[in-house]
Amino acid sequence: MPFIEFFKVGSVIFTRFGPQLVYDLKEKGCKVFLDLKYHDIPNTVYGACYQAAKIGVDMLTVHSLGGCKMMKSAMDGIRKYEDEEGRKGPLVLAVTILTSIGEEELKSELLIKEKLKDVVLKMVENSSNAGIDGIVASQSETSLIKDFNKDIITVVPGIRPKWSKKDDQKRITTPCEAIKSGADYIVVGRPIYTHLHPKEAAMKIVEEMDSAQGL
């Protein structure tokens, strides 16, 4: 599908097919967003990000709840790759709070008493201090993130066109709403791959994005 530039490779499909899928996508001229949300001790995340850069991904994710030291180590892994290869490594994005988690789960399950938006902004601040390139957050927090730092890359998951199902997501948005709120990228999964005609679904979403941008 030439109108799609990036393909997200998440934990399910990466566990099934491994790095070979990344190689295959790159051979076809695609960009790869490796969404494994690394969340481990700093040394492990350092090695994981370095290896992700080595296999050729263009963007990858770490989890901001791993803390500043872990996120700095992620960036150190990318810098090591860049020093060795003499070229730019992948963008590193920090996941804030999963879009399947709402205010209730934040308090009752994670025992975090602050409001969700305040937690997200703290994670954004930590990520920025660690040198992370961008943030993965819901559309409802995008404008707040851009107010904090207008240059930070924002990636919005939980995209559900009006014609698709909500599924297990709590903080969802449409493609138009995400773009208008300042999203630089949107992540669309099930509305495309569970559709009877995936290519048709993808084209409809691209058209919605174009309309939001006045194209």
| Tokens describing residue 215 | 């194209």
Catalytic hit among 26, 37, 146, 165 = 37
Residue listed under structure tokens 């495309």: 192
> Residue 170, Cβ neighbours under 10 Å: how many?
16
- Residue 8, by phi and psi: left (phi above 0), alpha (psi -120 to 50) or beta? beta
72 catalytic per annotation? no
What is the full DSSP assignment across 164-201? S--TT-SS-B-HHHHHHTT-SEE---HHHHTSSSHHHH
Residue listed under structure tokens 């308090």: 107
3-state secondary structure of 19: helix
Active site residue ranges: 37
